[in-house]
Amino acid sequence: MDFSEVNRLFKEDLSRVEQAIRKNYQSDIPLIPGISGYLMDGGGKRIRPLLMLLVAKLHNRAIDDRVITHGCVVEYIHAATLLHDDVVDETTVRRGNETVNSKWGSDASILVGDFLISRGILLLAEDCDPKIIRAIALATRILVEGGILEFTEARNLDVSEEHCLDVIRRKTASILAVSCELGALLSNSSEAQRNAVVSFGYEFGMAFQLMDDAMDYDSDEDVLGKPPGMDFKEGHVTLPLLHLYMKAGRSLKKEIESFVKNPNLTQKEFDYVLERMREKKSIDYTLELAKDYMDRAKRHLRATEFPCPEYIEALDAVADYTLERHIAARTCS
């Protein structure tokens, strides 16, 4: 089974998630559905709702309206963080489109992000399952802490690999893990089953973001959905850059330090850093670490028994697709 087969298998359910997403961002204030629609139609793969649906099916849970609504909730939280992140980073392009903050301004982007979070909270309140509310609230808190941690150390090369991984765990892996957890909680899973899928979600999330970090340097704009090098130009010290810095000699270290402090980097400077990364195998190092995380993710699914283990193959396919994105990017480059 590959990712396209998984999408075909869940086409109808994902379509229902899309309908719920559109239904629930409606408002009598036109700017809200205008911006929400623009963002939601921007080409995302809906990985988070898909993981939730897959975990529910793994537990032999029927995909009813309650499951669909919770898929909408996780996508709203994710979309809100994109709106807020793009303001913080002053990002102008995402998924091949102009960002909301670039098109409508930072104030509108922040406020509509707030609306999506509040709408998600209201949907949770209408369902009123304390375990689910607590899981999403905790994941959202951890996610926001990750954004703040990243912000406080922006343009700082005096950080450790553990710091970079901690930012990923909080900012990316937390929402992917809770997507899996929701699938389990909605299915009345056992503690062992829930622990297994949450662990899968965390390891999957680590691999997912590490792949993104590598692709931001070594990818093609058509695959990435934005110009390569945005992390570098925005001063984010992700693992590929930190690895290069730690392996660099004194002269190269000083060059990297000057690049990180400069908010107006050129394409020539990016190309120079990319070439040094290839020499020091910094991208390869990041990719290998992503593969290690994904291997562990797959093993977690096999640590306990599930009612419908055939869906493990579908989760494997989503995991493999995540890793194969870099191969596709290299092919296009």
Q: Is the pLDDT of residue 254 over 90?
A: yes
pLDDT, tens digit (0-9, with 9 covering 90-100), for 105-138: 999 999 999 999 999 999 999 999 999 999 999 9
Selection from 51, 12, 54 nearest residue 308 by Cα: 54
| Residue with the larger pLDDT of the pair 141 and 231 | 141
Residue 236: count of CB within 10 angstroms of its CB: 19
For residue 12, give the CATH number of its domain. 1.10.600.10
Average pLDDT score, the chain:
94
- Tell me: pLDDT of 331 over 90: no
Q: What is the DSSP string of 138-167?
A: HHHHHHHHHHHHHHHTTT-----HHHHHHH
**pLDDT of 181 over the 70 cut:** yes
Instruction: Reply yes or no on whether the pLDDT at 219 is more than 90.
Output: no
The secondary structure of residue 169, as a DSSP letter, is I
Q: How far apart are CA 320 and CA 312, in angstroms?
A: 12
- Does residue 330 have a pLDDT over 60? no
How many other C-beta atoms are found inside a 10 Å radius of the C-beta of residue 271? 12
The pLDDT assigned to 328 comes to 55
Instruction: Please give the angle made by the CA atoms of 41, 77 and 84, to the nearest 5 degrees.
Output: 80
Instruction: Tell me what pLDDT residue 220 has.
Output: 76
The per-residue pLDDT for range 18-64, each reduced to its tens digit, is 999 999 999 999 999 999 999 999 877 899 999 999 999 999 999 99
Q: Give the per-residue pLDDT at 332.
A: 46
Per-residue pLDDT at 226: 72
Domain count, the chain: 1
pTM: 0.94
Domain that includes residue 233, residue range = 3-332
- Nearest CA among 291, 315, 307, 295 for reference residue 50: 315
Residue 256 sits at the vertex; the CA angle it makes with 251 and 258, to the nearest 5 degrees, is 100
Q: How far apart are CA 179 and CA 130, in angstroms?
A: 16
Given a cut of 90, whether residue 100 has pLDDT beyond it is yes
**What is the three-class DSSP state of 94?**
strand
Is 333's pLDDT higher than 60?
A: no
Question: What pLDDT is recorded for position 89?
Answer: 85
Asked if the model's pLDDT at residue 277 lies above 60, the reply is: yes
